[in-house]
Amino acid sequence: MSKIDRISRCDECPIRHNAVCAECDAAELAMLEASKSYMTIPAGATIASAGEPLTHLSSIITGCATMSRTLEDGRRQTVGLLLPSNFIGRPGRECSIYDVEAASEVTLCRFERRTFERMVQDTPHIAARLLMMTLDELDVAREWAVVLGRMTAREKVAAFFVSLARRQAQTDGGRPPARTTTLKLPLSREAIADHLGLTIETTSRQITALRKAGLIETPSLRAVLIPDFEKLALEAGEDDDGGIVA
């Protein structure tokens, strides 16, 4: 039994202050409590499929999921990396337009779609928070467009580690990453490649190159140690003042 099974009250929830419910007061929270349900998805399982109806909208409590599009000929592009407090699904739309897959074991806090849509309409705190989260995601998506469109393979891989380090630091402590940071990689090399618009081979070569340049260490396949975060950020094509969006 995982820790999540014992959570029932929202005020014990690890994403209480970051998710779509962040701004809710006690009364609103009570309403959410009444209609939420938890669900745990094993690594590799599908959470939603492009074109298929999505009966529930949900927040990620723990774990990591990818949101991707696969073209007919097999080319795949991941358009979003979903981490704790991120939201899955869109109020006002019946179907998902992307495939959403659990990269690691994922625990979700779910709401029946119609119920949630009603809550968005009736609860300004939820609507306002959802707007802010969506604006943030839009910034992230646009930042990623710069990476996909204009960066070299090496810069892409560095940018991925930098961005992941920022997001993990954000959800862990809420502060920017320390100079020396260890990342847990929730994705396989193939999933990283799909996120970066590269092949798995090029991704692997660039990871090796960054390691040989002393910019990262790879204690295991699913971990990356960053000895000097600023140096790696520079390699990712950032001007010195740091990234604007996580």
Partner DNA sequence: GAGGCGCATTGATCCACGTCAAGTCAGTGC
Partner DNA sequence: GCACTGACTTGACGTGGATCAATGCGCCTC
**207 counts as binding DNA under rule CB under 7 A:** yes
Nearer to a copy of itself, 7 or 97 (CB): 97
Helix/strand/coil for 77: strand
**186 counts as binding DNA under rule CB under 7 A:** no
Structure tokens at 106: 């994922």
CA-based nearest residue to 166, from 76, 99, 232: 232
Strands 87-88 and 56-62: antiparallel
End-to-end CA distance of the chain: 33
Contact between 113 and 56 (Cβ < 8 Å): yes
Instruction: Return d(Cα 103, Cα 96) in angstroms, integer.
Output: 18
Site for DNA (CB under 7 A): which residue of 13, 82, 198, 246? 198
Contact between 63 and 101 (Cβ < 8 Å): no
Q: Which does 190 bind (CB under 5 to 8 A by kind): a copy of itself, DNA, none?
A: DNA
**218 counts as binding DNA under rule CB under 7 A:** yes
Nearer to DNA, 106 or 192 (CB): 192
**170 counts as binding DNA under rule CB under 7 A:** no
Size of the site for DNA (CB under 7 A): 19
CB of 65 to DNA, least distance (A): 17
Q: Which does 125 bind (CB under 5 to 8 A by kind): DNA, a copy of itself, none?
A: none
Structure tokens at 36: 């939420």
Q: Which residues bind a copy of itself (CB under 8 A)?
A: 67, 69, 71-72, 75-77, 79-80, 90, 92, 97-98, 120-121, 124, 127-128, 130-132, 134-135, 137-139, 141-146, 148-150, 196-197, 237, 239, 244-245
CB of 135 to a copy of itself, least distance (A): 6
CA angle 59, 40, 38 (to 5 degrees): 55
Site for DNA (CB under 7 A): which residue of 125, 199, 231, 234? 199
Instruction: Return d(Cα 124, Cα 119) in angstroms, integer.
Output: 9
Q: Which does 16 bind (CB under 5 to 8 A by kind): a copy of itself, DNA, none?
A: none
